Amino acid sequence: MTNKIAERVSRVLFSAEQIRIRAHAIGEQIAVDYADGAAKDLQRRPPLLVCVLHGALVFMADLAREIPTEVEYDFISVSSYGNGTSPGAVRLVKDLERPIEGRDVLIVEDIVDTGYTIDYLRRGFAARRPASIRICSLIDKVARRETEVQVDYVGFPLEENAFIVGYGMDYQELYRNLPFIGVLKPEYIK
């Protein structure tokens, strides 16, 4: 069966193969960067990957399998109010299940856009006294940033101001299951 939703994309920005190659490289880098803590201090537990639902689900699943060392998972869900009256306001929908005190936390995001979401998460996590917090984002919309956030691991920087879907990212909750990242044809945007 042909992919019915893939036909709604006008332009592929990052193919499944390009994403796989980047996820592999980042996974290896994460393993190297976190190896010291895990190997030298047996009291220290492996890094905790925090998946920001729902957008980062697909990336998290692939990235985690590219990290050739121990990791643990947790999940958090936030939503932006997005009503225009309070730009940057973020609401917690689902919190982590376990404490992060003393842990090396790696937040896994789909996109850092204005940066308000990741800033909210980083501040909230910092108050729980983890050993460290790093940020990994598949896409970094560098030109759109409105906050001071540093992304430690970037899949792809995106300079152009495009609204993208696929590989976990949605338009009105659809297209998350596309295996690549692309731009919708205008007739599919209401």
- Annotated catalytic residues are 113
Binding span for ligand IMP by CB under 6 A among 24-32, 66-74, 93-101, 104-112: 104-112
Shortest distance (Å) from residue 61 CB to ligand IMP? 16
Token pair of 189 as six digits: 């945007």
Site membership for ligand IMP, residue 104 (CB under 6 A): no
Shortest distance (Å) from residue 99 CB to ligand IMP? 24
Cα–Cα distance, 158 to 117 (Å, whole number): 18
What residues between 130 and 189 interact with ligand IMP by CB under 6 A? 163-164, 169
**Which residue stretches of 41-188 are H helix?**
57-65, 116-126
Shortest distance (Å) from residue 54 CB to ligand IMP? 8
Which member of 5, 114, 124, 152 binds ligand IMP (CB under 6 A)?
114
What is the number of other CB atoms lying within 10 angstroms of the CB of residue 158? 22
Question: What's the first-to-final CA gap in the chain, in angstroms?
Answer: 26
Site membership for ligand IMP, residue 50 (CB under 6 A): no
Measuring CA to CA, which residue among 55, 49, 48, 107 is closest to residue 79? 55
